[in-house]
Structure formats: structure tokens, C-alpha cells
Amino acid sequence: MPDMTDSRHGMLPLNFLRRHSWRQTAGLLAEEYLGVLTRSFPGFEGMTLRYLVLKLTAARVGGFCYLYRGVTLTHTYGLRVGREFHVNTGAHLDARGGITVGDDVLVGPNSVLVSSDHAINVAPGQTRASAGHTNKPVLIGSHVWIGANCVVRGGVTVGDHSIIASGAVVVKDVEPFTIVGGNPAVVIRRLTEPE
């Protein structure tokens, strides 16, 4: 445990409060404590409770969200989702840098959507943890299917009607009507656009 007055860390709680508004701080506390209570609650009741916590803490929720057991959502003050948003078991969404999701989006089990990274350059005498984050928004279009065990990195836009194959690591934009897969994700094939 770091010394809270250590000059390398500064006053950690004060630094945290300087970087977050009171609304963000209240939302972070709500998602942390209410999330622990509701994360493993079973059945439709649990799904409803998780939706209500998201509705309370997220920047925008367009309709009912299907958040399955074991989903972890952090920094939901940066999360904007449309209708018919389905997030499967074990998925993790970190919206510190902003995540915007369209309508009818599926996120597979154990997938990760992350909109921030730790800073690359660290000043002499500074710890990596105290160097802060680099925020890059994630934009997910409508009618997108993100398969199981995928990673979508910050700064990525996933176009409408796209599919991200299981296990893919998406580090660059995905065009609409495209299936991508691999690490790093590459185009597998184009989908036919409806007329």
C-alpha cells in the first residue's frame, strides 16, 4: 500500500477528486458498490437490477439493456448506449475515454471494450500508475456483433452491421458490413448490404 503522502504519489484521493467531477465520483461509487451487489444476482431480476444501476450511472441509455451475470462496467459516466444492448457473461467495458454504442449490439462473453490506456511516457521519479491515462473513445455502430473473447481498443470505430469474430483484437477501424478476425484483426470478408 503506497504512503498517501509520498511525493511520488501526491495526495492520491485529492488527485482523484481533481480529475473527476462530483457527479462522476458519485457514479463511480454507485457502480462499484451497487455493481458488486448486483453483478452475480441471477435471473431476470438480476438483469433488471443491473440495468437500473446502468440507467443511474451511464451518460445515456436508449432502452432496456441485457447485462448478463458477471459483466463489469467501469467509468459509466462515459458510456452511451442505444436500444437492445446485450452484454454477455464476463465482459468488461471501461468507458473512461468514452464508449458510444448504437442499437441492436451484441457483446460476447469475456470480451473487453476499453477506451483508455496508461500513459506511455513516464517522467523520471514518477510511477506508471500515477502517470495518468490517455483517453481514446470507442464508437460501435448499430447491428454489430462482437464475438466471445474479443478486445476492442480505444480510438476504434466499428461500422454498422459488422461482425468481430471470436478472439479478435481490434486496433483499427472496422468498415460497415465487414467481418474481421485475428490478432490484430483483419478483414475476413465483406457482407452484402441490404437493398
79 lies in some domain: yes
Residue 7 pLDDT > 90: no
Lowest mean pLDDT among 37-41, 86-90, 128-132: 128-132
139 lies in some domain: yes
137 lies in some domain: yes
Active-site position among 9, 75, 86, 118? 118
2 lies in some domain: no
In angstroms, rounded to a whole number, what is the distance separating the alpha carbons of residues 88 and 97? 22
Q: What is the pLDDT of residue 63?
A: 93
Q: What is the pLDDT of residue 37?
A: 76
- Report yes or no on whether pTM surpasses 0.85: no
Residue 1 pLDDT level (bands cut at 50, 70, 90): very low
3 lies in some domain: no
For residue 124, the 8-state DSSP code is: T
pLDDT tens by residue, 45-98: 999 999 999 998 999 999 999 999 999 999 999 999 999 999 999 999 999 999
Q: State the amino acid at position 90 in one-letter form.
A: G
4 lies in some domain: no
CATH of the domain at 101: 2.160.10.10
Highest mean pLDDT of the ranges 56-65, 116-125, 174-183: 174-183
What is the average per-residue pLDDT within 156-179? 98
CA angle, residues 50, 56, 60, in degrees to nearest 5: 100
Residue 5 pLDDT level (bands cut at 50, 70, 90): very low
List the domain range (segments joined by +) for residue 70: 12-190
20 lies in some domain: yes
Number of domains in the chain: 1
Whether 143 is catalytic is no
66 lies in some domain: yes
DSSP 13-79: HHHHHHHS-HHHHHHHHHHHHHHHHHTT--HHHHHHHHHHHHHHHSSEE-S-EEE-TT-EEE-GGGE
